[in-house]
């Protein structure tokens, strides 16, 4: 059974068609990058998978169940780090436990030993154990995003979504954040869907790729299929410079 099945998903905002009859399936454990220019529908797609946005028609099925609202086993990392500036990295990570309990239970569970241990493990997984007590607001953008990943991991998800997680970061920090994101997904066996507009990063870290243009799926394939022509179609030459100057770990992808 596929972990995520998107069936004829359409989302309209008034006259705007953000998603137009989108269908695909993602197998458990796949690390999928959603590509496309700004406005192509990436965020809307992730929000539908997360149950934050209701489709106009069609549906998303997660683990066999149609998504009708937010699910605790689906965690999301946002572009804006959504970090509580005034509290420690550890407290931020620990707040991920709120996602899997209701409010009253969370009041009681918040100091659970198990939750605390998970928060520390998650910080370790993103390389921030030594910075656990540091105030999140004083950390760099990349570190804050790693705290955001730790918080998502503490939610104990099966599915990890990230909407442009490195959009506001410099290239070095973007690499680091993507490395931790991919590593955490692999180590925990998570199914991941990450939207990115940086083609070089996508190629470096992605396994499966879904390309959107005007809300439609115009590409669905694996690394070996993601050719120069496909990228050119998706981006109309806009990002060719980044594509060519990117960190070429696998030159065979360019054909
Ligand atoms: N809440 C909303 N109300 C109205 N229109 C919206 C809303 N959300 C998205 N849209 C529109 O739907 C289309 C797809 O937007 P979406 O944010 O999904 O694209 P995107 O590929 O994620 O873009 P970006 O990379 O800029 O975030 C755009 O035309 C956008 O203006």
Ligand 1 pocket check for 39: Cβ under 6 Å: yes
Give the tens place of pLDDT for each residue, 118-128: 999 999 999 99
Distance CA 137, CA 53 (A): 29
Query: Any idea what the CATH number is for the domain that residue 245 is in?
Result: 3.40.50.300
Angle between helices 113-125 and 171-188 (to 10 degrees): 130
Ligand 1 pocket check for 44: Cβ under 6 Å: yes
Mean pLDDT of 84-106: 79
β-pairing, 74-77 vs 16-26, is: unpaired
Distance CA 249, CA 239 (A): 18
Angle between helices 141-154 and 171-188 (to 10 degrees): 10
Which residue's alpha carbon is nearest to atom 12 within ligand 1? 18
State the Cα angle at 153 between 124 and 223, rounded to 5°.
95
Nearest to 7 by CA among 24, 28, 26, 19: 24
Nearest to 126 by CA among 86, 85, 83, 167: 83
Whether 93 and 54 share a structural domain: no
pLDDT band (50, 70, 90) for residue 254: very low
Ligand 1 pocket check for 196: Cβ under 6 Å: no
Whether 213 and 233 share a structural domain: yes
Ligand 1 pocket check for 9: Cβ under 6 Å: no
Nearest to 91 by CA among 83, 81, 82: 83
Kindly give the number of the ligand 1 atom that is closest to the alpha carbon of 167. Answer: 25
Which residue's alpha carbon is nearest to atom 8 within ligand 1? 44
Give the tens place of pLDDT for each residue, 126-163: 999 999 999 999 999 999 999 999 999 999 999 999 99
Nearest to 138 by CA among 178, 83, 94, 96: 83
- Evaluate whether residue 191 is within a structural domain: yes
Residue 47, domain extent: 1-73+159-255
Q: Return all residues near 124 (Cβ < 8 A) that are at least 6 apart.
A: none
Distance CA 26, CA 208 (A): 9
Reported ipTM exceeds the 0.95 cut: yes
Q: Return all residues near 203 (Cβ < 8 A) that are at least 6 apart.
A: 223, 226, 243, 246, 250, 253
Percent of the chain with pLDDT over 70: 86
Give the tens place of pLDDT for each residue, 180-208: 999 999 999 999 999 998 888 999 999 99
Whether 174 and 229 share a structural domain: yes
How far, in Å, are 39, 71, 164, 183 from residue 158 at the CA level?
Answer: 28, 10, 20, 15
Whether 152 and 109 share a structural domain: yes
Whether 31 and 118 share a structural domain: no
Whether 142 and 96 share a structural domain: yes
Q: Is 156 exposed, middle or buried (0-12, 13-18, 19+ CB in 10 A)?
A: middle
Tally of structural domains, the chain: 2
Residue-level pLDDT at 11: 98
Distance CA 54, CA 69 (A): 8
Ligand 1 pocket check for 15: Cβ under 6 Å: no
Whether 57 and 167 share a structural domain: yes
How far, in Å, are 19, 85, 139, 143 from residue 123 at the CA level?
Answer: 35, 16, 14, 10
Whether 168 and 252 share a structural domain: yes
- Evaluate whether residue 79 is within a structural domain: no
Whether 165 and 236 share a structural domain: yes
């Amino acid at each position: 059974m596929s972990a995520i099945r998107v069936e004829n998903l359409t989302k309209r905002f008034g006259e705007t068609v953000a998603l137009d009859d989108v269908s695909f399936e993602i197998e458990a454990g796949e690390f999928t990058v959603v590509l496309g220019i700004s406005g192509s529908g990436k965020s809307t797609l992730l929000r539908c998978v997360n149950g934050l946005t209701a489709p106009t028609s069609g549906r998303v099925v997660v683990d066999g169940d149609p998504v009708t609202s937010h699910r605790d086993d689906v965690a999301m990392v946002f572009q804006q780090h959504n970090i509580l500036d005034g509290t420690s990295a550890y407290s931020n990570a620990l707040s991920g436990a709120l996602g899997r309990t209701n409010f009253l239970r969370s009041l009681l569970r918040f100091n659970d030993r198990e939750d605390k241990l998970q928060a520390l493990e998650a910080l370790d997984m993103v390389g921030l154990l030594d910075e656990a007590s540091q105030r999140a607001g004083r950390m760099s953008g990349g570190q804050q995003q790693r705290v955001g990943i730790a918080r998502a991991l503490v939610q104990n998800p099966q599915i990890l979504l990230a909407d442009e997680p490195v959009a506001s970061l410099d290239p070095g920090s973007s690499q680091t954040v993507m490395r931790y994101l991919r590593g955490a997904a692999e180590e925990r066996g998570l199914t991941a869907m990450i939207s990115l507009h940086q083609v070089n990063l996508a190629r470096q870290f992605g396994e499966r790729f879904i390309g959107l243009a005007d809300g439609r799926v115009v590409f669905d394939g694996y690394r070996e299929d993601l050719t120069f022509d496909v990228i050119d179609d998706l981006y109309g030459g806009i990002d060719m410079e980044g594509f060519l100057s990117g960190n070429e770990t696998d030159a065979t992808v360019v054909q």
